[in-house]
Amino acid sequence: MKQASDLSGQADAPKRAPEQVMRLSRMGCFHQTRLSFMRVLLRRMKSAGWRFDRPVWRIDAKGVGVATYRAKGPERTYTLIAFAHDLPADLRSDRVIAEAWDSTFTLFDGEPTEEDLTRLSAHVPVQEAGRLSDGEFVLSRANRSVRLFEHVVDALSRGQQPDPAVIEPVGYLMRTTAVYGSGKFGAADRETWAERPEFQGSFQPELLSVWLIRSFTIDLAEHMAAMSAPETAVTLKPDLKRRFGVGNSTGLGMAPFLLNHPALIHAWINARETALARIRAIETATSKEQEMFRALVERAEINAANWTVDHPGQAQKCDGLREDFTILRKHLSDTALSAEHPWNALYRWAETALSLEGQEQLVSLMLEPYGALIDDLALGMSADESNLARIDGKMTVAALRSKLTEIYQWALSIDFDAPDAQARIWYVSEEKLEPRLGERFEEPLEPYEQPLAPGRDAMLALAALKDFDDTATVAEFLLRHPEYRHTVRRLQIAAQKPYAEIRDNTIASEMLPIDLLRCKLSFFGATKFDPRSDRWVRITMFQGAPFPDELADMDPDDLAYPPLQ
Amino acid sequence: MSWSLGEVKALATKAARGAGLPWGMADEASFAVHWLQASGAPGVAALANYLEWRDQSPSKPHELCPIHLGTAIMDADRGVSEWLGRVRQPLLLAPFIARSSPSGMALTWPDMMLVVSETGLTSDASRALLLTDEAECSAAPATAQSAQRVNRVPETEAEAMARLNHFASRTYAPATEASRMSGAGAGITDND
């Protein structure tokens, strides 16, 4: 076995293997990093000197009307258009099948005219039932957190600041229940803006929208307080205001994303793993870097302490994480980070001492002091998927078989005839055209199965390959077995991009969709993962981040963890 | 009203799958529709026409199938032969020919010649000719001009879009109260 010192002596420590990283149990423990897309967005807008204002505010005392938020960059301007509604409580639902919301939004490419606002007022409030044009990039909506919104409006109207103890467990005034981009419901295709420097990376227009929505939620609460008590009302103090992010409620609709975008997922995970490898290869840490890391450990511990969930599985993981922090602090008090290859040593220690939650939290924290070394990786966190990956028909059956056996090694030992191994079935419901997860052996769903079980399909393809000679080609195989075309395509992508494929059974009875959601949302930069079941999760976005009027004067990266008390 | 190419791509995959193509072939059909529409050619209508014909004659699913022939040419990667054979909706072959011969190729059938390349296709043929139901096709090397890109599918395709939607709906499972509650994992309060 190789000693740690052998590896740490290398100029560039190896990346973690996909067999280790791409397991659902670990992906379901990812935390935000400085490569997360929210943080990339704020860093970029800060360095490019973006300016922000609110040209339109036509909201009445009941909180109904329209507002616009303008973001002016060096080359282009974007405008968030917010429609505020008076939603009866009985219609308020986070479910994607809802048909009315407290507020609805679109991100407009440029500055809308009055005609644009009028046109969009007929489409944006009805969301999926409306139509956007190629002048709009994002469609979204949000509902109030009833418990917190009323508390804040009430306190402000009485001239008081809201109670931090009430704010912290929720962390937002509104939560979005969908943020649609990339051509959905008629909006502009990703290709329209993919080359724009301000949107390099992933999900930048969507997250710009969410960040501006955050301002709207605060403005709306302050406005309603002022309208109800003009004599006494006050606004939120900046430090307290920053503790409000935007919530998000995400269900199964998002889960298949990781399976449907293998090249993109590789780009994300590869960037994160490359960053970790670069950090582990560092020979010595400066005292400044060591201090920064130690302080961040304390701040992340506050975050972990404030992370409250009802979900039993996640509650257990959170308890484990809090214990991990105790163990980590003890270890750090006994360990000098001034030794050689301190980060590699710390990571190797963590693999033996911490839970997966703790290990992945540590990975995030180790990246923090090293923006200069790793932030460039953010530019590679996208993939041009506009063209379907072409199949290499000349690949031999021998090579195909060998690659299938290697990449799906984890599946070779699974008996897919056993009910537990394929208990679940992914399908799309007629009612709302959204992905759903059913019980294969209890509901008549098999004719509607989506191709979201790569491991099982790879094993079926391997079995079908028994009838072919080693020297036969993929082209010949697919001519007879077009039903494995999607499997061969995935395989050929994963052969080039090792983090493209999840190394786990996505239809097993014990599979937890929230692991898929957590992985994706961590790349967005979400915090406070709060699973409401095994199938949907609430999160907080941009909590602690600067507001548009603060961005020029504050360091958004320093605000990613809560301040020390 | 118009559609984004992304919407059309997603719809074409579902429609082809709904009509019985395997998923990986449905992805290829979608690629073809997207490619054609991005060149301003009626890809949506061509796929709708083909799927309707196929739906009426399900006994030989690969017979005359432009997706099957197109992917076979692409996978074999031996260059495009002169005689391609008889297919339904020959327009759907164009994207595969272009991918096999990025620098340019003429795809011909009676009364029709399309020059295709990786940039798209250029043609001033009538819609009716482009949407020829069935023809013997051949190919020959040709010099392609750079094609214009179109980034929306216009309102005029509404009827063809509706026909694809009909096939796409076959991929949706009818909702039951049980699946409504458990399938998405709701059932506890989400109004707090």
- Note whether A474 contacts B: Cβ–Cβ < 8 A: yes
Contact B173 A438 (CB under 8 A): yes
What pLDDT is attached to residue A8? 39
**Binning pLDDT at 50, 70 and 90, where does residue A179 land?**
very high
Count how many Cα atoms sit within 13 Å of the Cα of residue A14 in the half-sphere of its side chain.
9
Strand (E) or helix (H) holding B117: strand B112-117
Residue A93 CA: distances (Å) to CA of A33, A69, A177, A249: 31, 26, 9, 10
- List chain A residues with CB under 8 Å of B7: 183-186
What pLDDT is attached to residue A2? 38
Q: Tokens 């644009």, residue? A: A116
CB–CB of A141/A108 below 8 Å?
Answer: no
CA dist., res. A207 & res. A204, Å (int): 5
What pLDDT is attached to residue A3? 39
**ipTM of the complex model:** 0.94
| Torsions phi, psi for A395 (to 5 deg) | -55, 140
- Residue B186 pLDDT greater than 90, yes or no: no
Burial of A418 (0-12, 13-18, 19+ CB in 10 A): exposed
Picking from A70-84, A243-257, A407-421, B41-55, which range would have the lowest pLDDT averaged per residue?
A: A243-257
Contact A192 B151 (CB under 8 A): yes
Contact B191 A95 (CB under 8 A): no
Average pLDDT over residues B159-178: 91
Residue of chain A minimizing CA distance to B5: A189
Mean pLDDT computed over every residue of chain B: 90
Q: Which amino acid is at A244?
A: F
Residues 34-53 of A with CB under 8 A from B: none
Could you tell me which residues come within 8 angstroms of residue A159 by beta carbon, excluding any fewer than 6 positions away? A229, A232, A233, A234
Contact B74 A393 (CB under 8 A): yes
CB–CB of B66/B121 below 8 Å?
Answer: no
Of B173, B190, B192, the CB nearest to A428: B173
Reference B142, options B86, B171, B176, B103; nearest CA is B103
CA dist., res. A108 & res. A188, Å (int): 10
Burial of A59 (0-12, 13-18, 19+ CB in 10 A): buried
Residue of B55 and B78 predicted with greater confidence: B55
- Residue A4 pLDDT greater than 60, yes or no: no
Q: Tokens 């191709």, residue? A: A451
CA dist., res. A395 & res. A471, Å (int): 9
What pLDDT is attached to residue A306? 86
- List chain B residues with CB under 8 Å of A95: 184, 186, 190
Sign of CA dihedral A322, A323, A324, A329: positive
Q: Which amino acid is at A400?
A: L
- Which contacts (CB < 8 Å, 24+ apart) does range A519-523 have? A519/A27, A519/A28, A519/A30, A519/A258, A520/A254, A520/A257, A520/A258, A521/A248, A521/A250, A522/A30, A522/A31, A522/A32, A522/A33, A522/A36, A523/A30, A523/A35, A523/A36, A523/A37, A523/A202, A523/A268, A523/A272, A523/A381
- List chain B residues with CB under 8 Å of A145: 192
- Residue A99 pLDDT greater than 90, yes or no: no
- Residue A96 pLDDT greater than 80, yes or no: no
Q: Tokens 């990283």, residue? A: A21
- Note whether A184 contacts B: Cβ–Cβ < 8 A: yes
Mean pLDDT computed over every residue of chain A: 94
Residue of chain B minimizing CA distance to A181: B6
Of B151, B171, B190, the CB nearest to A93: B190
Average pLDDT over residues A392-397: 98
What pLDDT is attached to residue A168? 87
What pLDDT is attached to residue B3? 97
Per-residue pLDDT reduced to its tens digit, A400-419: 999 999 999 999 999 999 99
Looking at A335-428, list the stretches that DSSP marks H as alpha helix, in order from N- to C-terminal side: 342-353, 356-367, 371-374, 397-407
Residue B152 distance to chain A (closest CA, Å): 8
**Token output for B155:** 């309102």
Per-residue pLDDT reduced to its tens digit, A416-441: 999 999 999 999 998 878 899 999 99
CA dist., res. A165 & res. B75, Å (int): 62
What pLDDT is attached to residue B97? 95
Residue A130 distance to chain B (closest CA, Å): 10
State how far Cα B87 lies from the chain centre. 14
CA dist., res. A362 & res. A300, Å (int): 10
What pLDDT is attached to residue A7? 40
Percent of chain A with pLDDT over 70: 97
CA dist., res. A94 & res. A247, Å (int): 11
Contact B192 A145 (CB under 8 A): yes
Per the document, the length of chain A is 565
CB–CB of B128/B135 below 8 Å?
Answer: no
CB atoms within 10 A of CB B82: 8
> Beta strands B172-173 and A424-429: pairing type?
parallel
Residue B121 distance to chain A (closest CA, Å): 16
Per-residue pLDDT reduced to its tens digit, A37-81: 999 999 999 999 999 999 999 999 999 999 999 999 999 999 999
Question: Which 3 state secondary structure label does DSSP give A384?
Answer: coil
pTM for this model (two decimals): 0.95
**Binning pLDDT at 50, 70 and 90, where does residue B190 land?**
low
Contact A433 B172 (CB under 8 A): yes
Q: Domain-by-domain residue ranges, chain B?
A: 3-145+156-172
- Residue A5 pLDDT greater than 60, yes or no: no
Residues 117-156 of A with CB under 8 A from B: 131, 133-134, 143, 145-147
Question: Which 3 state secondary structure label does DSSP give B121?
Answer: strand
**Binning pLDDT at 50, 70 and 90, where does residue A87 land?**
confident
Residue A212 distance to chain B (closest CA, Å): 23
CA dist., res. B7 & res. B151, Å (int): 11
Per-residue pLDDT reduced to its tens digit, A301-356: 999 998 989 999 999 999 999 999 999 999 999 988 989 999 999 999 999 999 99
- Residue A453 pLDDT greater than 80, yes or no: yes
